[in-house]
Structure 1
Amino acid sequence: MSGEGKRYDASDIEVLEGLTAVRKRAGMYVGSTGERGLHELVFAVVSEAVNDVLTQGAGRVDVTLMADGGVRVTDDAPAPPFEAPAAGDIGGPGLEPRLATLYAGAGPGDRNSVYVGAFSLGLVVATALSSRLTAEVRREGVRRAQEYARGVALAPPAAVGSATGTGKTITFWPDTEIFETARCSFAVLAERFRQVAFLNRGLEISLTDERPNGQARLERFRYSDGVRDFVAALDAEAGGSLHPDVIGFQREDPRMAGTMEIALHWGGRDAEGVRGFANGRLTREGGTHVDGFRDGVTAAVTAYARERGLPAATDTGSIADRIGRGLTAVVSVKLDRPEYLGPIRGLLGNTEVRVCVAEAVHHHLGAWFEEHPERAEAVVGEIVRTPV
């Protein structure tokens, strides 16, 4: 290709300042300008609320799909001030920087961070990609609010009345100049909020639909037994239950700089259902946490079968191929430094996680086998005798 007559210099470079870049390239920040991107916009706001709530160990987040097309997200977390803290003060950024500055999210970026969506840019994407956004803080007996229009603050934060309790409310209207649709799927949001509640015991999330031409709905999600409840629900939905016990445990391991929470159950189905999560994200392609889980189950089943002289007990490879028959499991790890392979973060790559998870599963499952010999005999016997 000839460059004759054509020159490229600094005058051809377009510099996008502030939130203009987010508005002009919305797909880069929420994945698409279709329904999937719209849901990511909601997830970004809910992520901030969930992370703020979990700083106190538990709490509540209420999400409402409003009749006029807006989305309201309210939490009861210790409310941040609007302004950034003074130099030397402890705590994260104030609410105003989180609304108006890229990469100023509330999450610390470690095992204590929960990611509801695939992206993690925080409230600022909602500020940029909404035709209108209002933020309200209830703090120290006062309600303060601020309003934005397409990424621009209309006025500084101001007191608007008295308040009881604490928390914040973010209400936003997705910009129809950017998104192909402004109507969220209740089912998609509800399924993801349900997962987040399972993965963070003590957290309560509600979803209310007030929109016209639809069924008025309210669903609440809160699970005291965490991923054990998750596995029980998945197994019930699949119509299984040969052995009613759900085996579950939690463990911290400094070698992987994080924690794991794992639950599993063998039911009466042929299909396998193992789901992996890393810092709340569903890892659709699996990764080292799921590989470690399979290693640990194989080791525990093999050891038990060999001790009792069960058929095929010497063929570890064959047992590894069989353990998934009728198995439902959730493998959730929360890491200070999660490493993902690929741009969509669907595959966890931390190498140390595999060994840590495998050892923990082998230990806890082996102990369960010893404590429940009759049920262990039924489970392991079925595995070693089932044709591959």
Structure 2
Amino acid sequence: MREDVHGYNAAHITVLTGLEAIRKRPGMYVGSVGERGLHQAVFEVVSRAVNEVLAGRASCVDVALGADGGVRVADDGPGVPAEEAADTDGPGLEALLTRMRTAAVPGRRSTVSLGLFGLGPCVTNALSSHLTAEVWRDGMRWVQEYRRGVAVAPPTAVGPTASSGTTITFWPDSEIFETVDCSFAVLEEHFRELALLNQRLEMSLTDARVPGEPRSVRFRYPGGVRDFVALLDASVGVPIHPDVVAFGWEDQRMQGRAEVALRWCGVGGERVRSFVNSWATDGGTHVEGFRDAVADAVNAYARKLHLLARGEPDVSADRISKGLTAVVSLKLDRPEFEGATRRVLGNAAVRNCVGEGLREHLDGWLAEHPEQAAAIAGWLVAAGVESQRPAAGPVT
């Protein structure tokens, strides 16, 4: 064995902790140092503000891209405590911006996590050249400045106020990120999706980076997943039935709530989007339960109308999914995922909970809307029969 290997000991090991570790290996915390990682840094700050709204402590979240390269995230909640106190709901300001959280991600149903690991604003602070935190709380305005994650001074009281809220403005560090120019389109799409999945959430996004050409959009969707489906199939074609079918229900067996919306159009393939605690998934037990329920309900109704003869096979699940636009959103207290990327839900109880709950609601809707139900079942059965016919042979 080589002599230098024999000489290896604890003195050769470098231990990185806290913000130093984040700056040294940023990709481990935000995924990359490119545009994707830059947006993750934004999401870490936005997540905290959004959760203030979902907890009922704030009414809206405003995000602004400044002409000076700064990103401003503001909420009108009670304000982060400027100093640590035992009687507050969360960490004090400096702890929030310098300590990584250790909570499981995603959290309980009442919270969202837009970041990869839910470590919080401290990640953004560490990857910013400059960060300013402003807090309006208990009649006082507080300000604290940071440089590359390090506090310039403790939080400072700068005067009285009648307002409340928290604003964090940060400038991504160009020494770390390959680009510090956020994509308005990417943020707009992400925030719209978040508002669609959370009916009580109101957000705005403003871009003031081009002088004389500001643009701003506001997101609020009282219809929730119903509005989501309407947006998804707005440009697809004429729907088979006019109404977006939407249901929401609680199920203690899965310790959560399900929200499902769907509608069929006469063209195109399947457009099914699935989420758990506002986190996009690629499938899992919630989607399996959804497919079970839709296939069972449609086939049962088709047989009730005698659209399928006795002994004739059910309309296949593949046929039923053609032209189907749907959103399946679960809010779970204890989500379990297959793998670290959290893309596939694995909670075993969820399949039956979603399947049974949706079947019950869908059966009721089909019975209460006979004209639309007949249009759906008739179109699916007719299309299924057509697809099973053998192709015409060559003309001789």
TM-score by length of 1: 0.94
CA contact (8 A) 2:233 2:325 kept: yes
**Residue deviations 1:147-177 (CA, integer Å, cap 9, x gap):** 1111111100011223232110000000111
Instruction: Name the TM-score, length of structure 2 as normaliser.
Output: 0.92
CA distance in 1, matches of 2:65, 2:52: 21
What's 1:5 paired with? 4
CA displacement at 1:202 relative to structure 2: 2.1
> Which residue number corresponds to residue 230 of structure 2?
232
> Which residue matches 1:67?
67
Give the Å deviation of 1:242.
3.1
CA shift, 1:33, in A, is 0.4
Query: Which secondary structure state, in structure 2, belongs to the residue aligned with residue 386 of structure 1?
Result: helix
Q: Tell me the equivalent position of 1:216.
A: 214
Shifted more, 333-342 versus 76-85: the winner is 76-85
Corresponding letter in the other structure for 1:181: T
Quick one: distance in 2 between partners of 1:385 and 1:241? Answer: 16
Out of 310, 335, 338, the residue aligned to residue 335 of structure 2 is 338
Cα 1:97–1:361 shift into 2, 3 Å: same
Give the gaps of 5 or more residues in structure 1.
Answer: none
- Does the aligned pair in 1 maintain the 2:44–2:124 contact within 8 Å? yes
Structure 2 distance, partners of 1:30, 1:214, is 33
| Counterpart residue number, 1:146 | 144
Larger Rg: 2
Q: Deviations over 1:220-270 (max 9, x none)?
A: 000111111111111113344231101111111111111111111112222
| Match of residue 203, structure 1, among 192, 201, 204 | 201
Q: 1: distance between equivalents of 2:360 and 2:221?
A: 26
User: What is the CA RMSD across the aligned residues, in angstroms?
Assistant: 2.0
Opposite residue 179 of structure 1, the aligned amino acid is F
What residue number does 1:82 align with?
Answer: 82
The alpha carbon displacement at 1:114 in A equals 1.0
Tell me: CA distance 1:57–1:323, structure 2 relative to 1, closer, same or farther (3 Å): farther
- The corresponding residue for 1:27 is 27
1:262 aligns with 2:257: no
Structure 2, unpaired ranges of 5+: 388-396
Match of 2:393 in 1: none
Of the structure 1 ranges 236-245 and 154-163, higher mean CA displacement relative to structure 2 is found in: 236-245
Give the partner amino acid of 1:218.
Answer: S
Kept in 1, the 8 Å contact 2:33–2:176? The answer is yes
Percent identity between matched residues is 57
Matches within 5 A, 1:99-248: 99-103=97-101, 109-212=107-210, 215-248=213-246
Q: Is the 8 A contact 2:260 2:327 kept in 1?
A: yes
Q: Which residue does the alignment assign to 2:392?
A: none
SS at match of 2:61: strand
C-alpha displacement at 1:311, in angstroms? Answer: 2.4
* Alignment partners' CA distance in 1, 2:28 and 2:155: 29
Deviation at 1:354, TM superposition (A): 1.0
**Alpha carbons of structure 1 residues 193 and 73: separation in structure 2 relative to 1, 3 Å:** same
Specify the SS of the correspondent of 1:255. Answer: coil
